[in-house]
Chains A and B, each alone.
Chain A
Amino acid sequence: MSERLTDSHPSELQKAKIEVVDLSFYYSNVQALKSVNLAIFERSVTALIGPSGCGKSTFLRTINRMNDIIPMTKVTGHVRLDGQDIYAPGVDVVELRKRVGMVFQKPNPFPMSIYDNVAYGPRIHGVRKKSTLDEIVERSLTLAALWDEVKDRLRSSALELSGGQQQRLCIARALAVEPEVLLMDEPCSALDPIATARIEDLIQELKKQFTIVIVTHNLHQAGRVSDFTAFFLAGELVESGPTEVIFERPSDKRTEDYVTGRFG
């Protein structure tokens, strides 16, 4: 059913950056994702919504293979990035994660300086030249709308920043490796409303350059920031489509119940 809906997207103009085909995921014997099919379009924001434990975070983490680090898990099906299956044998996970960045639920800057946090990615990928690193750090922090606040104290510890600033720093850190896709796992759930608004504005800016997939618990946030929405329930992708369709004219009763606040 989701395939039919995906096909009905008014999206002929947009290219599918990620195609998920028949994706299932298992934690030992528990099936967390049931044969999910979804297309994620380039330079747009796709929101993944659903109640706790519905598999939306698990789904997000299959896109950069972060689930690989959890033992006793199994994936079947395909996730194609620009047409290339990222679960095919011989795929370089390091290379994949360079292309698909991630921002986590709780801001998790490293216990180092602001500069070193942003420079971490480029450094591990072999950038040594000071001037190049300086450039990357400034560009990434500017993109993450944090440069003006921290430009005079790049050498101070990242842990001195406020929660919202830390989260923007984590976004800058992810952007510094120049990803094509940015995965955000409830990036505002630990932030106050003002900090949340800043991140949401930032997402609007970033989608001009990046493909963004965001997991959110907050339906209003999904409505505000996303172009497409996918609704998950008990490991199943119930319905996906343009955000206004999902929120205003959902075709599945369960979606309607969820977006109108009847459960979840």
Chain B
Amino acid sequence: MKQTVAKLLIVTSAIVVLCILAVVISHILINGLPLVNLAYLTTDPDISWGNPVGGIRSTVWVSCYLTVIALLVAVPIGVGAAVYFTEYAKVGAFVTALRFAVESLAGVPSIVFGLFGYALFVISLGLQWSILSGGLTLACMILPTIIRTSEEALRSVPSAFREASLSLGATRWQTIWRVVVPSASPGIVTGIILGVGRAVGETAAVMLTAGMSLGFPILPTQPGRSMAVHLYTLAQEHIAYDQSYATAAVLVLVILAVDAAASLIRRRTST
């Protein structure tokens, strides 16, 4: 009897979770997709008459631009830190402190990263509201994700590979670079993709650092408005729900695609 009740509760909670997800996604897609067409994706937004018209071309571009900048910074640093933690770090106060810092960083609300990015990059370093400020802020934000998933992936590389490489006369560095990191690459790529998902969907931190201007930034020193920020302003300032649903639909599809790619890579390489 107890067994049945427990099972019922567990199954119910699973169904509830699935339902919530299905309702949210289908609600957005049903309300948003009818407005999405090629023109919507290929024209820039225009709010010069108060009522927003046009598409989201520049915001898609800004989201991609920001993500690329964030990855260029966060991937080398994050993978490097993970390699340090797994291959070099010895147990000690310094490493414990470092680890604690990474864990804490993962739990910091994004608006705080936004404020930090605003104070450091926008004001102190004089980068102003720009793609660069936004990208660097996003880099700080996704760093913990990349470090933790890479670390996990590196730890799961069998020590037999390391031993084999060392026994052939490889140095520690050659072993890490040629055997350990390539063997861990599917896991590392999964972490990077999860970071991409976070970066693309981020609103608060981007708004405070990359600005909200509707131009089409070419240089990283120019400001821009990302998809998520655009969605926020459409809903909050213009009360243009049709438009914001359409943007939301595109955003959701992009993030779903990114997550699907991550799980595909994980599945294909775990067999």
Contacts and interface: CB of A to CB of B under 8 A. Distances in A.
Interface string B143-168: 00000000000000010111111111
B237 to A, nearest CB: 52
A111 interface: yes
Nearest to A117: B164
B164 A104 contact: yes
Contacts, number: 64
A108 B158 CA distance: 9
Contact of A170 (B158, B164, B171): B164
Interface in B95-146: none
Contacts of A102: 167
Contacts of B41: none
A139 interface: no
Contacts of A45: none
A177 B160 contact: no
Interface string B161-186: 11111111111001000110011000
Contacts of B170: 94, 120-121, 124
A28 to B, nearest CB: 14
Place the interface of chain A in its size category: 20 to 34
Nearest to A96: B169
A69 B171 CA distance: 12
Contacts of A108: 158, 160-161, 163-164
Q: How large is the interface on B (under 10, 10 to 19, 20 to 34, 35 or more residues)?
A: 10 to 19
B167 A66 contact: yes
Interface in B69-105: 90
A111 B183 contact: yes
Interface in B181-238: 182-183
B164 A97 contact: no
Which of B163, B164, B168 has the most chain A CB within a 10 Å cutoff? B168
A95 B169 contact: yes
A120 B167 contact: no
Contact of A124 (B160, B174, B183): B174
A97 B90 CA distance: 25
A50 interface: no
Nearest to A107: B160
Nearest to A106: B160
A97 B163 contact: no
Given A101-B168, A120-B168, 7 more contacts: A66-B163, A69-B162, A71-B90, A108-B158, A108-B163, A121-B169, A124-B168
29 contacts: A64-B167, A66-B163, A66-B166, A69-B162, A69-B163, A69-B166, A96-B169, A97-B167, A97-B168, A98-B168, A98-B169, A101-B168, A102-B167, A104-B160, A104-B163, A104-B167, A108-B158, A108-B161, A108-B164, A110-B161, A110-B164, A110-B179, A124-B168, A124-B171, A124-B174, A173-B164, A173-B168, A174-B168, A177-B168
Interface of A: 64, 66, 69, 71, 94-98, 101-102, 104, 106, 108-112, 120-121, 124-125, 170, 173-174, 177
Across the A-B interface, the 3 shortest Cβ-Cβ residue pairs:
A108-B160, A98-B169, A102-B167
